[in-house]
Amino acid sequence: MIAKSCPKCELQVAVALKACKCGHAFFSARRGADALPAAEDIRRRTGRVRRSQPQFYDSQHYQKQKKKSPKKRTLSNAIDRGLKKEKGESATARARRRRALRRAARSPAVGERTRDPTPQLRPAQIARCRLILQEINRKMRAVTWRPPTDV
């Protein structure tokens, strides 16, 4: 048995015991700490402490400012009328349509879009491309279905 000695009666007592037979309590220091009167300036935390929230911008204020600011329009009024918001149309779809209208309005540069790429190739490269295309066409004819011919 592991023992401790009582300071009052000098009796050997088991370590697990909280008090001696003579009445001495070994944990009086802990009891004294609990019995101390609470200081008045220390407030007991009764509720959940909430974390302070950052100040977010007011979305309505932002929308008002956005409406007040002058709008820059690069498209003509005729094109702009065609871009009126339709219900259910996403912003990306509208942007795509705007880009397509701009491209359509722009005339293609003469000579750039209709240029044939074959003059840039050497004769050996042209022959190789012709051979590859013939092989692809032969394979396509072999796998495509043809109705039976009546002879």
Give residue-wise pLDDT tens across range 24-83.
Answer: 888 755 555 555 555 565 666 677 777 777 676 677 877 887 788 776 655 555 555 555
Average pLDDT, integer, range 143-147: 84
Separation of alpha carbons 132 and 125, rounded Å: 11
The answer to which of 61-70, 83-92, 122-131 has the lowest mean pLDDT is: 83-92
The DSSP result for 50-75, as a single string, is PPPPP----HHHHHHHHHHSPPP--S
111: alpha, beta or left, given left = phi > 0 and alpha = psi -120 to 50? left
73-87 pLDDT per residue, tens: 555 555 555 555 555
14, 3 Cβ separation under 8 angstroms: yes
Q: What percentage of the chain has pLDDT greater than the value 70?
A: 66
Read off the tokens for 143: 């796998």
Is 18's pLDDT higher than 80? yes
pTM (two decimals): 0.23
Give the CA diameter of the chain: 129
Q: Which of 10-14, 69-73, 82-86, 105-109 has the highest mean pLDDT?
A: 10-14
118, 127 Cβ separation under 8 angstroms: no
The three-class DSSP label of residue 12 is strand
Is 9's pLDDT higher than 60? yes
The pLDDT confidence band at residue 130, using thresholds 50, 70 and 90, is: very high
Q: How distant, in Å, are the alpha carbons of 42, 101, 107 from that of 56?
A: 33, 38, 47
The predicted pLDDT at position 132 comes to: 97
